[in-house]
Chain A
Amino acid sequence: MNIYVLLKKTFDTEEAISVSGNQIDESGAEFIINPYDEYAVEEAIQQRDKNGGTVTVVTIGDEDSEKQLRTALAMGADDAVLIDTSDDLDEGDQFTTAKILETFFEGKEADLILAGNVAIDEASGQVGPRLAERLNMPFITTIVKLDIEDGTAEIEKDVEGDLEKIEVSLPVLVTCQQGLNEPRYTSLPGIMKAKKKPLEQLELDDLDLDEDDVEAKTATISIFLPPKKQAGRILVGETGEQVKELVSLLSNEAKVI
């Protein structure tokens, strides 16, 4: 099986966010593999080990994205592709990303593409379905179970807590939800091996794409932090009194009950 994983690097979930000059300040921030994409890498490896084939991890990013790709290789992926757009593009949106990926996948004959449910930074969840549609592939989002047999995928999809059992023939694109698996930690031998694994680097030119072909359809005009919350009120006194006060505040001051 030809298995592909779409991987995005994102801010570490614990990072505090600051804004400078209408942009998220990235200086000094730690980057990680988007947590949902870790489920995708893990699932890809497990499916390969069961069904044979290779796992290729693809990211659109900059030269620093090599770090997250090496981590995926250390987990057990076979190949990695870094599409570096930093020299060619200043702006992009989900259309841009999907368009670049579509071009990359031309002629690739993927059997299974795994993406994350959302990227935790911009969190649109668009990229997976957008790509599948361009490749004329069915897609199933937020999956929590995947069994492949004889070219058919039996899938369990999380629907806001309910579960749907779905059947679909390969090729298919799926997006991964928490609960699908437990991503493995990288081991020292894995990390050593990953250093020698192939990592292909591409730019837009290599995909025969121009800036105009991938021009974003949407634009961000400003970025701002939520207004600082005023310090909350910690109630005092006997528990019974606190509860009385709380109910009174909720109905008279906040007017929410």
Chain B
Amino acid sequence: MSEKILVIGELQQGVLRKVSYETIAAAKQINENVEILALVLGDGDLQQPAEEMIHYGADRVITVSHANLSNYTSEGYGQVIMEVMEDEKPSSIIMGHTSVGKDVTPKIASRLELGLISDAVAIEKEDDQVVFTRPIYSGKAFEKKVMKDDGLLFATIRPNNISALEPDSSRTGDIIAKEVDVKDLRTIVKEVIRKKTEGVDLMEAKIVIAGGRGVKSAEGFNALYELADLLGGAVGASRGACDADYCDYSLQIGQTGKVVTPDLYIAVGISGAIQHMAGMSNSKVIVAINSDEEANIFKMADYGIVGDLFEVLPLLIKEIKLEGALVS
């Protein structure tokens, strides 16, 4: 069998998460001359996501649809991925470092006694060796890791760090529906309570507007939502804001919340505690709006406005509307 890399497409409520496309780009960085095989699993018709994986650079797609895959369980997904591995014998496997990827990859690695490099943000080749860079110590340092033997290369990648390829809707490839009898699940998902707001996924957003205790109330967050809508971004928060009940914990960014790497992070009324920085310090451009010029967040910011957020935000919204009007 010729060499191939297996990437795993992750569906969220029927739609592929962006990181799925990024796994294809990552696979190309590992070896651009081998077949890229994508696996898309879920419940229902998977033709459309399979085609999208091909548009984004996959050469062939295996789909596995089963009622027991409608909710993620490590056992259900684990069975399918291991069966595909057994059939196809890929030389590498790449998956997103998401709630699902984090959960299922160590299970597989452990079952098959493999090494696994989690949460990579960059991939390079040095003398034919594939080197993964990953943040450690809450993003305060980085390490470069390699596999010790030349067996299977197994890694997860952090969303928003390795850019997806430009989609090409004229690309074609085989899509094969595979039957897997997904069974003997010991864990039963009884209910899923969605708390995440509709709209742009926080972990995948290119622009994040985050509010802190300085926003002072749940109503105060309305301006942040308006700004996020205007810019096509998502709203996040510090733990301070979540603890004060201005917003749901699903928005928390930081060491114990989500890790985000957007192109633009606007911190509004956030002091910049080390545990908060752990979740956003790798953002490409950071803007801080804070009334305290000594606030720690300014040390991390590319641009800072020292001022009252209740004055700054309305002006900013107005200005961006104006700018939008000029451009279009």
Chain A contact residues, CB within 8 Å of chain B:
11, 13-14, 16-17, 19, 24, 35-36, 93-95, 98, 120-134, 138-142, 159-169, 177-179, 215-226, 229, 232-235, 239-240, 242-244, 246-247, 249-251, 254, 256-257
Chain B count of residues within 8 A CB distance of the other chain = 90
- Complex CA distance for A94 and B102, rounded to whole angstroms: 13
Please report the number of residue pairs spanning A and B whose Cβ atoms sit closer than 8 angstroms. 248
Given that A126-B106, A166-B187 are known contacts, is A133 also in contact with B111, CB under 8 Å in the complex?
Answer: yes
| Contact assessment for A226 and B139 in the assembled complex, using a CB-CB cutoff below 8 Å | yes
| Contact assessment for A125 and B102 in the assembled complex, using a CB-CB cutoff below 8 Å | yes
The 10 closest A-B pairs by CB, nearest first: A161-B250, A217-B115, A130-B110, A129-B106, A126-B106, A178-B256, A133-B110, A124-B118, A256-B264, A218-B115
- Find B196's partner among A93, A98, A160 (CB 8 Å cutoff): A160
| Contact assessment for B285 and A160 in the assembled complex, using a CB-CB cutoff below 8 Å | no
User: Can you list 24 A-B pairs with a CB-CB distance of less than 8 A?
Assistant: A13-B138, A24-B141, A36-B256, A123-B118, A124-B118, A124-B119, A125-B118, A141-B103, A142-B99, A160-B202, A165-B189, A217-B113, A218-B145, A218-B146, A218-B148, A219-B146, A220-B143, A221-B144, A225-B142, A226-B139, A226-B140, A234-B298, A243-B316, A250-B303
| Contact assessment for A167 and B188 in the assembled complex, using a CB-CB cutoff below 8 Å | yes
The chain B residue with its CB closest to the CB of A235 is B305
- Find B187's partner among A160, A161, A168 (CB 8 Å cutoff): A168
| Contact assessment for A167 and B118 in the assembled complex, using a CB-CB cutoff below 8 Å | no
A220 contacts which chain B residues (CB < 8 A)? Answer: 143-145
The chain B residue with its CB closest to the CB of A11 is B137
| Contact assessment for B298 and A120 in the assembled complex, using a CB-CB cutoff below 8 Å | no
Binds A, one of B46-54, B169-177, B307-315: B307-315
B190 contacts which chain A residues (CB < 8 A)? Answer: 165-167
A218 contacts which chain B residues (CB < 8 A)? Answer: 115-117, 145-148
Given that A232-B302, A239-B311, A247-B316 are known contacts, is A138 also in contact with B186, CB under 8 Å in the complex?
Answer: yes
The chain B residue with its CB closest to the CB of A251 is B323
- Find A160's partner among B98, B138, B189 (CB 8 Å cutoff): B98
| B69 in the interface (beta carbon within 8 A) | no
A222 contacts which chain B residues (CB < 8 A)? Answer: 143-144
The chain B residue with its CB closest to the CB of A135 is B110
- Find B142's partner among A98, A124, A169, A226 (CB 8 Å cutoff): A226
| B168 in the interface (beta carbon within 8 A) | no
- Find B189's partner among A19, A166, A232, A254 (CB 8 Å cutoff): A166
| B160 in the interface (beta carbon within 8 A) | no
| Contact assessment for A229 and B137 in the assembled complex, using a CB-CB cutoff below 8 Å | no
- Complex CA distance for A161 and B260, rounded to whole angstroms: 14
| Contact assessment for B189 and A244 in the assembled complex, using a CB-CB cutoff below 8 Å | no
